[in-house]
Amino acid sequence: MNDKRSHREGQLVLLNAAAARSARHAIELASRLRIEVHEQAKGIVLDCGINRPGGIEAGLWLARLCLADLAMVRLLPADPTRFVSRQLVQVATDHPTDACLRSQYAGWPLKVGKYFAMASGPMRSVRGREPVLEDLASPEQADEVVGVLESDQAPDPAVIEEVLAQCPGATRAVLAVAPTTSLAGNLQVVARSVETALHKVHACGFDPRRIISAVGHAPLPPPAATTIAAIGRTNDAILYGAQVTLWVDAAREELARLGPQIPSQSSSDFGRPFEAIFRDYDCDFYKLDPALFSPAEVELISIRDGQSLVFGGVRTDVLQQSFGAIERP
């Protein structure tokens, strides 16, 4: 196992080991979570919404698994007149870089033959092939790797073989899978408010390890009937409804320069529902403006001088276009 330690605390953070413990607990509770466990020769597949219904509890667990169990994830009541939803998905962590960038960020487009999934979770830290992971210089070694797949198809043994081939030293994989159209998949994507803020901070050239703690929430949209519509709603929940607070080891002046670059409104594509934007770019994530993928509103709090600065804002009008109005027949 590796011996990398967290930025400020000097404590050992073993992402895959923590996630593997969480997965074993979920397997014991499979019936309650309404998930299905499939043992394979070199790993385990947990179906959280393809052939099993999954649900809210499975979605909360799936989000925590993605975060290597280094964050709290829960539902909070929302003001529907502002968020066009009665529920917010809240994420809170004292390990934002490890939980969000080394684990949760969906930076691995996993392709095996005709199979495709957006892969996230702590197995990425073992693979280590993404620019953000190279910049953090924090590779991990693990015999058993854990990941979350956003897909409407369950991975077969060839997919597990590919995961192991790309994760040096790994001999087993635990893969949890859910489509974005499912309750669990819908929730776990919306639980990325903090992750998008951290990723944008890194893209702006600011060291994300200077972020000490983070809390964020985003509205939970109704599940959509198609994958494209579901991708649209879950992204809109973040881009137009997410509010994130970051406690940062920096002075107010530095945060004042950084802050305007973080919210999604910094993108020229900002202002329309994501599904429409996505279709304009041939449903290709890699053609989209990277500046778009960030929360609607960000609060930066300096732990040096106690100053708080807020940038961006919630766009109820776009959320209403995306989610649809709450009806009272």
| pLDDT single digits (tens) 40-73 | 999 999 999 999 999 999 999 999 999 999 999 9
Of the candidates 136, 138, 110, the one whose C-alpha atom is nearest the C-alpha of residue 16 is 138
Question: Would you say how long the chain is, in residues?
Answer: 329
Residue 231's beta-bridge partner residues?
Answer: none
The mean pLDDT value for 22-47 works out to 97
Say whether pLDDT at 7 is over 60: no
**pLDDT(9) > 70:** no
Tell me: the pLDDT tens digits for 303-322? Answer: 999 999 999 999 999 999 99
Segment 15-27 mean pLDDT: 98
Q: What does R_g of the chain's alpha carbons equal in angstroms? A: 19
Q: For residue 148, list its beta bridge partners.
A: 120, 176
In order of start, what are the domains of the chain with their CATH numbers? 15-323 (3.30.1030.10)
Average per-residue pLDDT for the chain: 94
How many CB atoms are closer than 10 A to CB 211?
26
3-state SS of 274-306 is HHHHHHHCCCCHHHCCHHHCCCCEEEEEECCCC
Q: Residue 48: enclosing H or E segment and its boundaries?
A: none
Q: Give the pLDDT confidence score for residue 286 in this predicted structure.
A: 78
**pLDDT higher than threshold 60 for residue 10:** no
Over range 211-228, report the average pLDDT: 97
Nearest to 187 by CA among 311, 59, 326, 291: 59
Find the mean pLDDT for residues 227-249: 98
For residue 298, the Cα-to-chain-centroid distance in whole angstroms is: 17
pLDDT at 130 over 80: yes
**Ranges 9-13, 121-125, 252-256: which has the least confidence:** 9-13
Residue type, position 29, single letter: L
Which H helix or E strand runs over 88? Answer: strand 87-93
Instruction: Report the distance separating Cα 154 and Cα 48, nearest Å.
Output: 10
Order across the sheet with 308-312: list the strands: 72-77, 87-93, 211-219, 243-248, 297-302, 308-312
Percent of the chain at pLDDT > 70 equals: 96
Asked if 258 and 204 touch (Cβ cutoff 8 Å), the reply is yes
Task: Report the distance separating Cα 143 and Cα 293, nearest Å.
Answer: 33
pLDDT of residue 12: 54
Residue-by-residue DSSP string for 194-238? HHHHHHHHHHTT--GGGEEEEEEEEE-PPPPSSHHHHHHHHHHHH
Q: DSSP class of residue 178?
A: E
Query: For 269-307, how does the pLDDT look when each residue is reduced to its tens digit (9 = 90+)?
Result: 999 999 999 999 998 887 899 999 999 999 999 999 999
Rounded Cα gap, residues 76 and 301, in angstroms: 23
